[in-house]
A and B are shown apart, each in its own frame.
Chain A
């Protein structure tokens, strides 16, 4: 019983976040200190949750895509488009709910476009999604007419910087979405079908799974999540920045999903672990920012850390772990 418990603790997927948090704590002893500030929680850990939320939201959508052996490189650009839609609409005087719903609808439409290319035209995702990755920023620029559209709508701002029970809104929206999507894949057959498509799309079609429809759904969900992230990010800075909103964020979301244990070869995925992956990446970024290294090292340190985490989680390392554990277990009964 005890050994089983230890084994679970040694799970590399949970070791990684623990390790990153430990390093942060060593670099910066106040890392775990949380205080209350104007009725909201305040501290580095809260920042990690708050800043990690957009990547976590993207990772939730990206998980389904990667589980079907795809990839969605357009999420950053979709964020920019949807942020721009929400911002320009509230500035133009539309009610906030209308603007938000319109932005979400645009996100879904972007996802449907990706799904159309991948599922119906059978274009490889790595070729299909960059279409929107490039075009999306242009579209966002057209919407904002090249400038940062700033707004003062209190409801929209609340989405970015408000708080609920002391937690920043972004850190509330992400778990809510996580629960929703997890229920969707666990309580319906969609999760099984996504895995089946990822493992063997030909067999899935012969087994009567509507794989095209499901693929379209998966990309639409990714677009929907990107829209939420885009609204959150725009609300956070009270402005839609077509050039920079979500820029390269897909390159955080993809490793987050992979660190979370979702297989790029299909068959295995976990939405909650992808969110954990996003938190790890965010904690890493925060650690780097607070470490006082010159900024020239930021990307190098980050790349090194991701390689290290993936190495720890690789089958090779797992074998190494298990072999070492087996020795005392065998020696036990003697």
Chain B
């Protein structure tokens, strides 16, 4: 068991929830827009700190007060709003890829240009980023390539746990396929992931379990072979009292 969130929550944002995540496991998060999916992701990543509950990482109780704490424990987070929260438009592709790793290394252990180029080149190739140059501003890339850049940014930090919020929204078919392939590959390599997505077919395909959010509350955890889009839709649609046993 890699991660265990217990009664983890934040007032006026997400009701306390329990969730355990193992290595090599993808947890799909389903729910309508505004159901609290993004809030849950931000909570787990420490972007909005929890005010109740506890979390253990690899069996050790720990506190995640901010994103720096989360990153130092091997977390990564691709936000939903790529432009507003993910991409540094005027910085180069290279800088966009290495920035989280550099953040992890701190102010005084600066990666020099060669190291940056090597890292950016390696992950750019692995993710098949189509850029004329690693030194061009990232804002000139297509949405799909930008998403791959953000994913590369986190892979460069060698994370154990990735949170992806709508990683395939608004990008072209080729990039879409590449990202789904990457999710599968990372899972097979043993990475734990939480993937928020509105594309249910896709979520069903790569997830080991699916949690359903409604009204900022985790209302169901679906597991096993009987998960299919129909079941998820039903879980999303069920009103709160019907869900009670």
Binding site for B on A (CB under 8 A): 187-190, 192-193, 195-196, 199-200, 202-210, 263, 265-268
| Complex contact B107–A193 (CB within 8 A) | yes
The list of the 7 closest CB pairs from A to B, nearest first, reads A267-B90, A208-B103, A208-B71, A189-B110, A199-B88, A207-B100, A202-B85
Asked if A207 and B153 make an inter-chain contact with CB atoms under 8 angstroms apart, the answer reads: yes
Given contacts A199-B89, A200-B84, 16 further A-B contacts (CB under 8 A): A187-B110, A188-B107, A189-B102, A189-B107, A192-B102, A192-B110, A195-B90, A200-B88, A200-B89, A203-B79, A204-B99, A205-B47, A206-B79, A207-B153, A208-B67, A267-B91
Specify which chain A residues have a CB less than 8 angstroms from the CB of B111 in the assembled complex: 189
**Chain B: CB-nearest residue to A191:** B110
Knowing A192-B95, A208-B103, the reply to whether A203 touches B67 (Cβ < 8 A) is no
Tally of contacts, chain A with chain B, CB under 8 A = 80
- CB closest chain-B residue, reference A266: B90
Number of B residues, CB within 8 Å of A? 30
Of A188, A200, A263, most B-chain CB atoms within 10 Å: A200
Kindly identify, within residues 86 to 108 of chain B, every residue whose CB is under 8 Å from any CB belonging to chain A.
86-91, 95, 99-100, 102-108
Q: Would B85 and A209 count as touching, CB distance under 8 A?
A: no
A117 to B84, CA, bound (A): 24
- In the complex, which residues of chain B have a beta carbon less than 8 angstroms from the beta carbon of A192? 95, 99, 102, 110
Measured CB to CB, the nearest residue on chain B to A189 is B110
> Could you tell me if A189 and B105 are in contact, using CB atoms closer than 8 angstroms?
yes
Task: Give the chain A neighbours of B68 by CB distance below 8 A.
Answer: 208, 210
- Enumerate B210-237 residues with CB–CB distance to A below 8 Å: none
Measured between beta carbons, the chain A residues less than 8 angstroms from B99 are: 192, 196, 204, 207, 209
Chain A positions within 8 Å of B103 at CB level: 189, 193, 207-209
16 contacts between A and B (CB under 8 A): A189-B102, A189-B105, A189-B106, A189-B107, A192-B95, A196-B91, A199-B89, A200-B84, A200-B89, A206-B85, A206-B86, A208-B67, A208-B71, A209-B103, A210-B68, A267-B89
Residues of A within 8 A of B102 (CB): 189, 192-193
Asked if B8 CB lies within 8 Å of chain A CBs, one says no
Interface-centre pick from B84, B99, B100, B102 (highest chain A CB count, 10 A) = B99
Residue of A nearest to B69 (CB): A208
Closest chain B CB from A43 CB (angstroms): 40
Q: Which residues of B contact A263 (CB under 8 A)?
A: 90
Q: Are A188 and B95 in contact (CB under 8 A)?
A: no
- A206 adjacent to B77 (CB under 8 Å): yes
* Contact status of A199 and B90, CB under 8 A, knowing A206-B77, A208-B67: yes
- CB contact between A203 and one of B70, B85, B105, B107 (< 8 Å): that residue: B85
For A213, give the chain B residue with the smallest CB separation: B107
B91 pairs with A195, CB closer than 8 A: yes
How far, in angstroms, from A94 to B87 measured CA to CA in the complex?
Answer: 53
Output the nearest chain B residue to A198 by Cβ-Cβ distance: B90
Q: Give Cα A210–Cα B107 distance, bound, in whole angstroms.
A: 10
Complex CA distance for A209 and B95, rounded to whole angstroms? 13
> In whole Å, how far is B216's beta carbon from the nearest beta carbon of chain A?
21
Q: A206-B77, A206-B79, A268-B90 are in contact. Are A190 and B100 (CB under 8 A)?
A: no
Q: Would you call B110 and A188 a contact (CB within 8 A)?
A: yes
